[in-house]
Chain A
Amino acid sequence: MTEILATIRIALRALARNKLRSGLTMLGIIIGVGAVIAMVALGQGAQEQVQQQIAALGSNMLFVMSGNMNRGGVRLGMGNTQNLVAADEEAIVRECPAVAMAAPGSGSGVQVVFGNDNWGTQATGTEPQYFDIRDWPMAEGVSFTNEDVQLAANVVVIGETVRKNLFGATDPLGQTVRINNLPFKVVGVLTAKGQSGAMGNDQDDAMFIPITTLQKKVTGQNWLRFISVSAKSKNETYAAQQQIEALLRDRHKLRGGKDDDFTVRNLADVAEVADQTGRVMTLLLASIASVSLLVGGIGIMNIMLVSVTERTREIGIRLAIGATEDDVQRQFLIEAVTLSIIGGAIGIIVGLLVSYLIPQVLGWAASVSMMALVIAVVFSFAVGVFFGYYPARKAARLNPIEALRYE
């Protein structure tokens, strides 16, 4: 053990002799390991974010959208057809046994004014069940009621971002805001859900009013963009999906081979697909980054070969005074591994730094896992051994007499 330490000391000294060269060689490994860590962190960050976002939509949730998105999505975008109506929503609740709750939804971009402040946001018309389906409680106040829906009352529930921008320190409850010039009373403020999606959608930049109010007073349209549905349990989401599809085809009189004019999305499926996509992306990023680690390894091999040639005489001396082939091989192998391990250690620091800076600078999510660090350490060690082996072997196999004569 002390012998290994002594050999490491010899290796460090040999490396210190050519600081620039050792530094440049390490740079390859530093970039390689740093890139792997940063890329994996980015991939996993995106993956986690997508999962959080999906989870934030509420468990057991199904999403019925107007329009058919299962055929390339180009032909009919979401909400561009007018055949999803409130009666469909009522029928779903009434006739699908696997469905617990449903809430209709339609939206419009609006200007909201409070005093001298105004704010542009999305007003979604819905029913009180919507907040239960999405598992989205109020931070203050209460949701509007079913009675408000029946009466098409001018009441509004606002998201945290809207509250912050319009009210600041003022208590918003009971205040009147103007939405497209109509007065609305603020009855509730939703808890903050935070950013979502790789694009940084702010889920809290939203407000909700009764669906009837939206249709009668704001948009003047009576069709829905979506229906949020909650299945009775997680296990029943698939059954719920089947029942909704059958029901809507029947209600929309789609016979035989006619395409659906709606789309039902099951969040469990969405989550799984997103997870797989994320994993593939992480793997892809990691493999691209590994190429630079490989190039770094080749750099080590190159410099070790140069070093063996330069130090032929030293090797001859060591062999002549009794070093075995194993001794010489170990010496050069440890030198290569020392290079790659130090490079790997610096690479980890660089990778962590980049993983820390990217969210700050670019706003992308990054998540460093312990696993990635362990793999980085193991890999840089392996790179040193793998690419150091051949040069070390070459050094050990030198003929001492010829090596001593080498100029």
Chain B
Amino acid sequence: MGNTVISMVEPVTHSGSTDSVIRAEDVHKYYELGDSRVHALRGVSMEITRGEFVAVMGSSGSGKSTFMNILGCLDQPSSGRYFLEGIDVSTLEKKQLAAIRNQKIGFVFQGFNLLARTTALENAELPAFYARVSQEERLRRAKTALQMVGLGDRMDHFPSQLSGGQQQRVAIARALVNRPSILLADEPTGNLDSRTSVEVMEIFQKLNEEQGLTIVLVTHEHDIAQFCKRAVVFRDGTIRKDDLISNRSIAADVLKTMPVLED
């Protein structure tokens, strides 16, 4: 059903290269607060192609989350245009946006945002439920995703029975279950200790390398950004810097040098 909603969308309104996954054109975002107006994004233009691994950085309040919410179709730009795989998202209706969030985007949050009192497996299969996928297929996909993030033995655990790193891995599995074209992560390691953070980055690197998944990740830490391929720096709602990362860290290697803390 989700698929039909997307196929109902006008095919391609505008498109850069065929590999363009994200294309933002002069995106502005205002928040009206009484009389004053907060200008959170002041003309952001950016293109991200398939297989990229982008770190979004910048000081607090610079507009990173606002931008991510727009990329994730949780929010709409006040002006400017945003194309997701060539589709002009601002033309879509709520139902179609929900379908896009469901099918094309995997979102990982700083606070995990798992459903409480719901097992890891059920959490992971939830997007497939809303995609009207059959129960067997849902289970199969959720199990595969959980195994992929190394939680094959914790499927029946509730979030309250999992560590922060494990909860974040359930959230990643959930983000992957509908095989999205892009994974968005807003400070996914913000609540994790350094070793667990690297473990999560290892999963992201693996997804990016092995499956060619496009990833955009917000982080405050340079160490974490170092695992990505490209770093975009925000300041006051605009892009200050946009560089490729040199001397890229490989999480699997870094992990070998880190001491293992006993649980």
Whether B129 sits at the interface, judged by CB under 8 Å, is yes
Contact with B113, one of A323, A324, A404 (Cβ below 8 angstroms): A404
Q: Flag if A321 contacts B126 (CB, 8 Å).
A: yes
Within the complex, which residue of A17, A322, A326, A400 is in contact with B102, where a contact is CB–CB below 8 Å?
A322
Known contacts A318-B126, A321-B174, A327-B130; is-contact A401 B74 (Cβ 8 Å): yes
CA distance in complex: A366, B113 (Å): 55
**Residue B83, interface by CB 8 Å:** no
Q: Are A320 and B126 in contact (CB under 8 A)?
A: no
Which of A6, A17, A324, A404 is the one whose CB lies under 8 Å from B98?
Answer: A324
| Total cross-chain contacts (CB, 8 A) | 58
Q: Given the interface contacts A2-B135, A314-B115, A317-B115, does A325 sit within 8 Å of B130 by beta carbon?
A: no
Cross-chain contact B130 with A313 (CB below 8 angstroms): no
Interfacial chain B residues near A304, Cβ < 8 Å: none
**B94: interface (CB < 8 Å):** yes
Cα–Cα, bound, A319→B113 (Å):
12
Query: Does A3 count as interface, using CB distance less than 8 angstroms?
Result: yes
Cβ-neighbour of B103 out of A322, A326, A327, A404 (below 8 A): A322
Give the most central of A2, A3, A324: most B CB within 10 Å. A324
Say whether B135 contacts A322, CB under 8 Å. no
Per-residue interface assignment for chain B, residues 166 to 193, with 1 indicating a CB less than 8 Å from any chain A CB and 0 otherwise: 0000000010001000000000000000
Q: Nearest A residue to B123 by beta-carbon distance?
A: A317
B109-A321 in contact (CB<8A): no
Whole-angstrom CA separation of A17 from B158 in the bound complex: 14
Q: Mark A166-178, 1 if CB is under 8 A from B, else 0.
A: 0000000000000
Closest CB pairs A-B (n = 3): A322-B102, A324-B98, A322-B101
Which A residues form the contact surface with B (CB < 8 A)? 2-3, 6, 17, 313-314, 316-327, 400-401, 404
For this complex, 30 residue pairs linking A to B, each with C-beta atoms less than 8 Å apart, are: A3-B132, A6-B135, A318-B126, A318-B130, A319-B98, A320-B74, A320-B101, A320-B107, A320-B113, A321-B102, A321-B107, A321-B126, A321-B127, A321-B130, A321-B174, A322-B98, A322-B99, A322-B101, A322-B127, A322-B130, A323-B130, A324-B94, A324-B130, A325-B94, A325-B95, A325-B98, A400-B74, A401-B69, A401-B75, A404-B113
